[in-house]
Amino acid sequence: MSNNKNNPTIPEDHPRAQSLHYRHVLVDGMEKKIVTPSGLCAHGRGEAYDYILGETTTDAAENAMEAAVAMILSAKHPVISVNGNVAALIPKEIVDFSNETGSLLEINLFYQAPGRLNAIEQILRDNGADKILGLNEKVSVKLNNLSSNRRIVDPDGIFSADVVLIPLEDGDRAEALIESGKKVIAIDLNPLSRTAQKSHITIVDNLIRCIPKMVNIARSMKKMKAEKIKGIKNNFNQKKNLDQSLIHMIQYLQSKI
């Protein structure tokens, strides 16, 4: 995972060093057309919820990660949806996770500014990605019940996927994916969002902590027997897990009173 040493303007002893580093990463990503201005706003909104988590990965999040990896490893055609913020924040980690789980990477964007698709493709390839979907609009198809640009998907990727990992997702597209019969795994710092509430598995955690942990979980889980992996997936309780995430947030706030 990246750290603030990559930006010498941020003092190592600054209490918000890591947070400031990732803000600079996103600003740099915006200058390179990877991230849009609205992506900066979305990151700030998510970071606010991370404060309420205590900027830590909870036991509930760890359990959800294990269930998510189990679901992906059990899938026939898993796909990871990649937007600009994901590509800017964790390009190497998302490629590593794709490789470890045999999941396909598909770029899917709300704002399709000129040059943006190519910029995201390039940063993924620079970090080891080989096959990337979502690059050819001429062969794309559209999800039903969705009007935004995110309805445009690759027929060999999200459209035909049985499991889709959607980090930093829009609620309306999460619902559209579920309505089309797919199992949806979300990474969302807000356990009350539409995406979090509608998904089959929601990991309430910061993306920059979550994906590196999931890479390690995948490496360990691949050594397990298929029946044990299936058991981890089937024993996960989404509602209970979301409730535990909310309880953690409430208890953290109460500890500050």
Q: Binding site for ATP: residue ranges? A: 23, 45, 188-190, 194-195, 206-207
Asked if 81 and 185 count as a contact pair (C-beta separation under 8 A), the reply is no
Q: Which residues, listed in sequence order, are joined to residue 167 by a DSSP beta bridge?
A: 187
Beta strands 104-107; 132-133: pairing state: parallel
Burial label for 52, CB within 10 Å (0-12, 13-18, 19+), is middle
Binding-site annotation: residue ranges: 23, 45, 188-190, 194-195, 206-207
Compute the distance between CA of residue 242 and CA of residue 60 in angstroms, rounded to an integer. Answer: 8
Residue carrying structure tokens 């760890």: 62
Asked if 132 and 80 count as a contact pair (C-beta separation under 8 A), the reply is no
